Chains A and B, each alone.
Chain A
Amino acid sequence: MVDLATITAGFGDAFTPFNLMFVLFGVLLGQFVGAVPGIGPIMAMAIAIPFTFGLDPLPAIAFLVGVNKGGLVGGAVPAILMNTPGTPDAAATALDGHPLAKRGKPLKATKMALFSSVTGDLFSDIVLITVSAPLAIMALKMGPIEVVALMIFAFSILAGLIGNSLIKGMIAAALGLLVASVGQDPEHYTPRLIFGYWDLFDGLPLPSVAIGMLAISEILRRMSLAHGNVKSGIITDGSNRPEDRRVSWAEYWACRYTMLRGATIGTILGALPGIGSTAAAFMSYAMTKAGSKDPSSFGKGNLQGIAASESANSAVVGANLIPLLTLGIPGSVGAALIISAFMIHGMQPGPLLFEQQGRLVYGLFGAMLMANFVNLWVGQLGLRFWTKVVSAPESIIFSAALLLCIVGVSMATSGLFGVAIMLIFAIVGYLMSTFGYSLVIFIIAFFLGPRFEKSIAQSLALTNGDLTQMFKSPVAVALLVLSVVSFVYFMRKNAEAEAIDSKT
């Protein structure tokens, strides 16, 4: 168990002006890029990771946490002003945010989004800080056999939940694992699938694969869509009446149950790998609308609708770190990027993290709490500015983002070889998303691949190659049974969806 001295030392490390400055930079950058349709916090984090190499672990991670949290607030701005969500999870926010903006209250809508986003985020951070250490202690009791079973279970859930086809989900996961096997094998350290390129001996560089698949492929897709059309329609003019430009305490307090429900939904869904913040936002929105005395007002600029969506999608971010910190399993692309930043800075996520680097973990928690308050402060001051940012032409955003990706990956991988790999994975990522394969599953499988294979090797060594020994572990058996159950469940669910689809 982490002792109190470590916890206070961790929080003490975080609450310094130096770290506060990096959190502030991160939040500023996050809100800025979140407000730009087409970039978003995930792409910003992917681009920013290589630029944090020269920093100490805590300020680097504090900066990235700031980018992630700031991006969620910024993402609501284009959703409200342009009906074009900067991030997919802000799509539910647009349902009521955009109509409210059209009624001449764009600032009121963006401020409600800011307040409910910070409220939901703070709620999930408190849950994360409270439950992650006890969960890590439980996870420590698991050996390699249980870890293999847990990963199989995680893959079965991920493959079924993300995307419309379990088979395609399995292909994406298998492809991620196959790509992860490039480099040296974890037991004998012999070169494997490197095709004579000794630069690949340590495996495919994480920044190249992540940035190629998540950032460049998305930029390429949006560039082809923007081709010949660089203008954007935007609402920035609004009423000058003070009550239309702010959210009063009474209006905020009236949404307290909506935000609590949204934050709870977001926290629960965020703790489960694979269910993204978009699902949480829509679920919270639907439940709020269903429970409302005036459901017909939703979709016409109801503040409760904005509060429901934003509190839920922001609560997912903190909760996503629960499986990451306790089990080492990233639950989303954002968490997978944070895991790569952890690894670059010498942290190995998983149950041992609390034991070996408890101070750093509590430093991270401190940075997350700081980021919430900074997010609120920067949002209050910056919303007027971010409304101008969304009108920047996409052409300059895409060209700048591409140059930053090239430079960032070149710095991270010490040369243009890594950039070439990034381009290859950008094309692979584009084709995968075009043909309906989940990039999230691919990336998570790629991150988990080496650990998965190592755990299999350790399990085989422990059991002298007799895998039936696995059945002597009740935890492993339970997880494998759950994997089969989830596999069958998703197969049936997909078959039902297909049947409904073919009837219509």
Chain B
Amino acid sequence: MRFYLDMVGRVILGMVDTGRGLGAFALITLGTTISKFGAAKAVIRPQIRNQIFESGLKLLPMIAFLGLALGFVIIGQTVALLTSVGAHEYTGPVMVAVVVRELGPLTTALIVLARVGTATVIELGMSRATGEVEALEALAIDPIHLMVVPRVIGQAVSIFALTIYLILIALVSGYLFIMVQNVPLTPAAYADQITSALTWQDFVLVALKTLAFGAIIAVVTCYQGLAQPLRLEQVAAATSRAVVVGTIGCVMVDAIFILLFLLV
């Protein structure tokens, strides 16, 4: 019994420790972003562009594929359900609630976490393990400024842009499925349903959510790779930890946004 209590205690303490470390790391990153705003532009801006390319542009084909699939699957299920009760005029509102508010941002964030976040932990973990971070410090280069700030900005911008693409593609592919199913819904009526269901809060929600997801993923993955001394053999474990913590972080933030949205 005592063994299990010890184990639970260790897990809880570990979670508290990770939360505390992540909070401190996020604050340091925020402080560096503000205090070094505009510094070393010639080096930092290409890094941000590179991040947008790696975590945004390179993922566009995959996001397009997922958007198509998401549109087909959701409309497929929704149309089947709504037509059976003669309520296919709710197809648009369902798409907005499911794709725009929920699945679009979260799916994009999880894809970026899986594809780019893991690569970030490995890259930074190796840099840490091989002493590159100390070399930067010896050259009076702030590793947070060079390695973390561009990732936070780049990934936040990328997730925002990719989410917009995913939502648009899902909405269009959803209508393609409606056409295939011969549902009596014209493109104009479908568009009308969607625009009527959208409110200004949806636009603010998508923007804030995606920027928050980007920041969370970048901070979590950089923290796991950079903030603690690592040996090469520990990089793999740090990568899986980052995926778990990043997923939990995104889902928790998503839940907070849902609550806020319902309250507003």
Q: A and B from one assembly? A: no
